[in-house]
Amino acid sequence: MDEIPGAGPSQASSGQHSAADRDWWRGAAIYEIYPRSFADANGDGTGDLAGVRARLPYLRDLGIDAMWFTPWYQSPMADGGYDVADYRAIDPLFGDLAEAEALISDALGYGIRTIIDVVPNHVSDQHVWFQQAIAAGPGSPERERFWFREGRGPNGEEPPNGWTSEFGGRAWSRLTAPDGTPEQWYLHLFAAGQPDLNWGHPDVRREHEDVLRFWFDRGVAGIRIDSAALLAKDPALPDLPIQPLPGEHPYVDRDDLQEIYRSWRRIAEEYDGDRALIGEIWLPNPDRFVRYLRSDVLHAAFNFDFLTAPWDAEVLRTSIDTTLMMHGRVGAPATWVLSNHDITRPVTRYGRADTGFAFDRKRYGTPSDRVLGERRARAAAMLAMALPGAYYLFQGEELGLDEVEVPRERIQDPMHFRSGGVDPGRDGCRVPLPWDGEKPPYGFSSGDVDTWLPQPDDWASMTAEAQSADPGSMLSLYRMALMVRRTHPDLGDGSMKWIPSAPGVLAFQRGDSFINITNLDTDPCELPSHERIWLTSAPLEGGRLPANATAWLRPSA
């Protein structure tokens, strides 16, 4: 049994559970807040920062170390705030800068750090730079901060190249001059309201470095970097090669990015050495992925390989092994994620025939076995929390919320519209949280309002209040598991070793006193020799661990 090299100092030596620890991000439990849908204090049907402030005791009781906010800045909300109009202002829907500062400081009082989202690949089409670029016209310096080009074809009616948007459709839109004549095209890898920035332009670099300082000065502990592998472009904007070599794709994972993030790292290091940069990096090649995690680049990145893996012991084992080996090489901690604001909710996903996740496989009406899905989601959460590294959870995951099929006429997600209505989009995991009561808005809003996305009528038993009273609920499981994770000296950052188990079973040990065993088989399995059971995701059956369940044990001495 080889010890799988940890990704750095063990928890015991780093003391990671102390609030003052510089390396907190290596083993933290980090809770993602989608502010529109967390809690609405002003009663307008949309969540806000005052709502989060009022619920900080809930987050403390849940046992998290930090919260990550998806963008809270001023935005026309063409993509749920990922279209930023002004980085130094909070969107009025959510509050104002003073409210954000108060939130950051109140949260610290509860031992909770704040991570914010920065979206460097693009801005909103309402951002002052883009407005200036439109007004200044073709050939102007203002346009050089973006990717404006003439169209192809005799009248420029064809886009400059054949790139497609990550949301579907073409990645270019054409402007129309005030007199109605068609004008230049601009690049947007996402929605038309999200023009891509030109990272070859010095203003773009300077501005983002300033934005980092602006928020670090206000006490934020970390930055989640949106679409972190897409910023740098080949300025020739060539059509996509059939099979680009690593680093040679015209806009994915280009080598220039390393130096951009090195400069961000230097800024982060100016602040007490405890600020973290966490990349949203979707790359299938693990060698390329971990280049971003070298000690002078980013601190951590989301582990999408694990997140998208199906409920299959061998696939998960391989994902865990590859993750730990690759992160170990660069000394970075792994991250374990089961859901976020872009991904189908775990209880729904794990109850389907296809338990993996891929954006292009999302369809309406995919059947899901709720009971099975919930069992697996409970087991998966404990598995993920037991692995070495940091654990990220998305609001509502701890309540076991399902993916909601939002009625088409209420959908807001541009992914749905740009797919021609084929893809249900991502709103199904963004529905406002149910806090208490019997019917919508379930305590989400202070008033009796229609929430920005409708909540289902059958969520009365899913509210935080109802689940708090039930020791068998998903919320109770998360509270207990996070408490064990927080207090057990062998959990969080560190190393693990596999222990022998039947096929279909994942069993590993952390330190001397902790075993995780997860049964992905169809039959119950024997537990390894143990002297104590810390927690199980489902009741044992005759002393054996049933299918689709996890147990945490103290091994026999």
Residue ranges that bind ligand NOJ, judged by CB under 6 A: 79, 82, 119, 190, 226-227, 280, 341-342
Q: Least distance from C-beta 31 to ligand NOJ, angstroms?
A: 16
The CA distance from 262 to 268, in Å, is 10
Nearest CA to 548 out of 421, 369, 321, 397 is that of 369
Q: Least distance from C-beta 446 to ligand NOJ, angstroms?
A: 27
The C-alpha angle with vertex 237 and arms to 236 and 240, in degrees rounded to 5, equals 125
370-386 vs 474-487: helix crossing angle, rounded to 10: 10
Peptide bond into 441 cis (omega under 30): yes
- 220 DSSP assignment: -
Q: Least distance from C-beta 416 to ligand NOJ, angstroms?
A: 12
C-beta closer to ligand NOJ: residue 68 or 264: 68
Is residue 270 part of the annotated active site? The answer reads yes
C-beta closer to ligand NOJ: residue 82 or 357: 82
Is residue 32 part of the annotated active site? The answer reads no
C-beta closer to ligand NOJ: residue 82 or 459: 82
C-beta closer to ligand NOJ: residue 282 or 435: 282
Q: Least distance from C-beta 452 to ligand NOJ, angstroms?
A: 16
The catalytically annotated residue of 259, 270, 287, 512 is 270
Q: What are phi and psi of 124, to 5 degrees?
A: -75, 155
The catalytically annotated residue of 23, 226, 253, 397 is 226
SS3 366: coil
Nearest CA to 22 out of 202, 388, 279, 275 is that of 275
Find out whether 197 and 222 touch, Cβ atoms under 8 Å.
Answer: no
Nearest CA to 301 out of 312, 314, 316, 291 is that of 291
Q: What are phi and psi of 87, to 5 degrees?
A: -70, -15
Q: What residue type is assigned to position 134 of the chain?
A: I
Please report, in angstroms and rounded to a whole number, the separation of the first and last CA atoms in the chain.
17
Q: Least distance from C-beta 87 to ligand NOJ, angstroms?
A: 14
Q: Could you give the dihedral angle defined by the CA atoms of residues 59, 63, 66 and 72, in that order, rounded to the nearest 10 degrees? A: -20
Q: Least distance from C-beta 307 to ligand NOJ, angstroms?
A: 12
C-beta closer to ligand NOJ: residue 10 or 227: 227
C-beta closer to ligand NOJ: residue 6 or 425: 425
Handedness of CA 253, 255, 261, 265 (dihedral sign): positive
- The residue at minimum Cβ distance from ligand NOJ is 82
Supply the residues annotated as catalytic: 226, 270
